Structure 1
Amino acid sequence: MAVDLAERRGGAGRRPLVLVGPYPAPWGGISVHLRSLQQLALRSGYEVEVLDVGEGHASRDGSDGVRDAGSYGRFAAELLRVAARDAVLHVHVPGNNVKAWVVAFAASRARPGGLLTVHSGLAPALLDGSPTARRLAWLAAAGYERVLCANGGIAAALERCGVEPARLEVLPAFVPGAVAPADPPAAAVAARARFSTLLAAALAPGNQYGEDVLLDALGLLGARRPDFGCLVYGPGTAEAAFGERLARRGLFGRVVPLGEIEQPASLGVMRLADAFLRPTRADGDSVSVREALGLGVRVVASDVGHRPPEAVLFRAGEPADLAARIEAALAAPPPPEGAGAGDVSERILSAWRSLGLARVRKGVQA
């Protein structure tokens, strides 16, 4: 019945879905989730396009359904076009800077009544520390039917901004199975052959990603387990400066940097590992943690954000505790495949339909 009502609301059955946010590459959490949602909509028979406001926006020509919306002028023009099309809008922002809330506010005024997803575990610190950000977040949220939050801390911070609790929902930002694992880089395969115990981790620039915590923990672990190596991938890991930091800690050769790799290859890297590590100081809901658990790989993650129960947690910012938890995880059996996935596909589809999204192709299972 809900689908029939949504289709009647859509008139001729052609209300497109418009996703707003960063799109791969780079291969960060929000962009990967956005692409997964695009694929979910297409599989379910909906018309969908993406407005890319991320780093790669200038390369978009719209031919694959992804349009350039990264400059102020392009964003404004695309919002006017979206409003004229009577689209269902689903906006994704980190929420950890004022610009993100400006994007959310502008989109809601162009096409009120859509969905907003807030991803970053750093969003509460911004909102609690800045009256301007709190006011802007409240104004932005007022233009959406519902606000989806990657964890409870984000939802609580938005409540403190004055957003009604009934419009807030905590929902993991993860749709499993969007892509299949691909062959990992040759350096990763060689490391698997060289080390009897192999770990893996994703890093990015910024204190919140915990590079120092990870490397200090690996140094402690190396004193007790000379048999282990660690694959590390993500922006900056192929740079000479990262290699120098490894050398200063005596980890050069034991830690194998892979640089930034595409999502299918990163899944291939995870499958090689005995455990995947997430050393962050702040998190929303980590796509990589859920990917690794879904592949049946042990996960050791900091005790921040929204963690699946199958993950082994360590105290954020404490390398000694991370090293101890790695050893404990390795002594236990790996999780079954599919563990911790937290598939939200049906809840997302239901939310889109409740806003009037209608199928382009009749008879497609949604």
Structure 2
Amino acid sequence: MSDKKRILITGPVFPPAGGVSIHLKRLYEFFSGSFDIDFADESRTIKPGIFNIRSFRPGPYFKMINKSDLVFIHSGSQLLRFLHILVARLFQKPVLLTFHSYPATRYGLAKKLESLFLASVNMIIAVNEIIAKRIDLPEKTIVRHAFLPPLLGKEPELPEVVLKWINNKREEGFQLVCSNASQLVMFNGEDLYGLDLCIELAHRWELQNKKLAMVFVVSSLEKNEEYYNESAAKVRSLGISDRFLLVKEPISFVSLIRQSDIVCRPTMSDGDSLTVREAIALGKPVVVSDAVERPEWSILFRSRDINDLEKVIAQTANEKLGGLNKETVSFDGYYKPYEMLFNELTGGKKYEE
């Protein structure tokens, strides 16, 4: 029997790829040698051998929590968050909770209920200062952005069809831009991840005969498959398939970033974007909307402004940006704080920032 401490992680398990599922994947890859890690998966994609909360099997779920030394919650659903906290506390298990997002509009009964549940949590991680302020529990909240550097040796190669398309563009003298969406979402009636902006951008490049091409990855079609099909049809109708590749599978975005010249993140809203931090760590210029506060080295454009996006991408393609020309992936300062937290909450050394 293993003498390693056991951690139960709740949240969306990769695949499909998304900011939270990639975060959990990297936690597992890094810590599975020093901790026994189980998952209570909340994704709609069922994976063999991984317990999924949507199976509605309370027996295995209770058993996993009872066996754990720490319950680490990453749930996006408030209801599931409450469930995990309640059951963990019933079994007297320590709880670590990460908020990857937090709506500004939570109030009334929902806010009171959440405050009641959060009072029993051992420690809370907020991925940015705004979320920490909205939670308003400074005595037990720390701010730590969600980015964890990739283990490059574990990243899969790009699919052959994608790599071939990229290599063809390279041979034709094109610079490559990449962008992505975990899934297609409408936000206030508009495209949250900016797929529509990217298609229009590629159309303008075609009309101006610019040597720029884009790969846009949609990791999952759990939502808005019809919108994806409409977008794919628009790419064909505009005649831009030779400079805009739309991918509908969860490929390694890290591998795609490494093959690209520019990374684009045209979202209308965001948390602490994994894509942006990966691009910076991998030495790539990253053009991002100003919808939220962005990390240092981000290159901003006005959110939902296609003209400004076009201008900023063109300027970025024409410039050599000093300080962003080599990969700076490092594990120092990223994984160690989690190890210290795990050790404290499972009975080891006290965590200190």
Query: Normalized against structure 1, the TM-score is what?
Result: 0.79
Deviation track 1:199-235 (CA, whole Å, cap 9, x = no partner) reads 1111221032222233334444555562111011123
Match of 1:277 among 264, 280, 292: 264
**Separation in 1 of the partners of 2:246 and 2:281?**
24
* Mean CA deviation greater in 324-333 or 244-253: 244-253
**Secondary structure at the counterpart of residue 130 of structure 2:** helix
CA shift, 1:187, in A, is 3.5
Q: Which runs of 5+ in 2 are unaligned?
A: 187-191
Q: What residue is the counterpart of 1:5 in the other structure?
A: none
Structure richer in helix, relative to its length? 1
What is the RMSD of the two structures over their aligned residues, measured on CA atoms?
2.9
Going from structure 1 to structure 2, the CA distance change for 1:304 and 1:114 (only over 3 Å counts) comes to farther
- Count of residues in correspondence between the two structures: 328
Going from structure 1 to structure 2, the CA distance change for 1:137 and 1:210 (only over 3 Å counts) comes to farther
Q: Which amino acid aligns with 2:74?
A: H
Q: What residue is the counterpart of 2:196 in the other structure?
A: 212
Q: What residue is the counterpart of 1:177 in the other structure?
A: 150
Q: What residue is the counterpart of 2:39 in the other structure?
A: 50
Q: What residue is the counterpart of 2:66 in the other structure?
A: 84
**Separation in 2 of the partners of 1:270 and 1:252?**
20
Query: Normalized against structure 2, the TM-score is what?
Result: 0.81
Match of 2:247 among 258, 261, 267: 258
Q: Which amino acid aligns with 2:95?
A: G
Contact 2:65/2:88 (8 A) holds in 1: no
**Separation in 1 of the partners of 2:333 and 2:267?**
23
Deviation track 1:256-288 (CA, whole Å, cap 9, x = no partner) reads 11221333xx22221111101111111112222
Q: Which amino acid aligns with 1:332?
A: K
Q: Which runs of 5+ in 1 are unaligned?
A: 1-11, 360-366
Instruction: Report % sequence identity.
Output: 21
Q: What residue is the counterpart of 1:158 in the other structure?
A: 135
Match of 2:11 among 9, 21, 24: 21
**Separation in 2 of the partners of 1:216 and 1:254?**
12
Higher RCO structure, 1 or 2 (CA under 8 Å, sep 6+): 1
CA shift, 1:305, in A, is 4.5
CA shift, 1:316, in A, is 2.2
- 1:133 matched to 2:110? The reply is yes
Deviation track 1:80-106 (CA, whole Å, cap 9, x = no partner) reads 224432521111023xx5435434544
Q: What residue is the counterpart of 2:168 in the other structure?
A: 193
Going from structure 1 to structure 2, the CA distance change for 1:355 and 1:278 (only over 3 Å counts) comes to same
Moved segments of 4+, more than 6 Å = 339-342
CA shift, 1:353, in A, is 1.1
CA shift, 1:130, in A, is 4.6
Going from structure 1 to structure 2, the CA distance change for 1:138 and 1:112 (only over 3 Å counts) comes to farther
**Secondary structure at the counterpart of residue 97 of structure 2:** strand
Contact 2:158/2:251 (8 A) holds in 1: no
Match of 1:109 among 81, 84, 89: 89
Contact 1:281/1:304 (8 A) holds in 2: yes
Going from structure 1 to structure 2, the CA distance change for 1:24 and 1:357 (only over 3 Å counts) comes to farther
Going from structure 1 to structure 2, the CA distance change for 1:306 and 1:143 (only over 3 Å counts) comes to farther
CA shift, 1:348, in A, is 1.0
- 1:33 matched to 2:45? The reply is no
Going from structure 1 to structure 2, the CA distance change for 1:197 and 1:86 (only over 3 Å counts) comes to closer
Q: Which amino acid aligns with 1:115?
A: L
CA shift, 1:143, in A, is 2.3
Match of 2:103 among 124, 128, 137: 124
CA shift, 1:179, in A, is 4.5
Deviation track 1:24-76 (CA, whole Å, cap 9, x = no partner) reads 11111111111111122223x2222122121224x332xxxx433333x33x4
Going from structure 1 to structure 2, the CA distance change for 1:324 and 1:143 (only over 3 Å counts) comes to farther
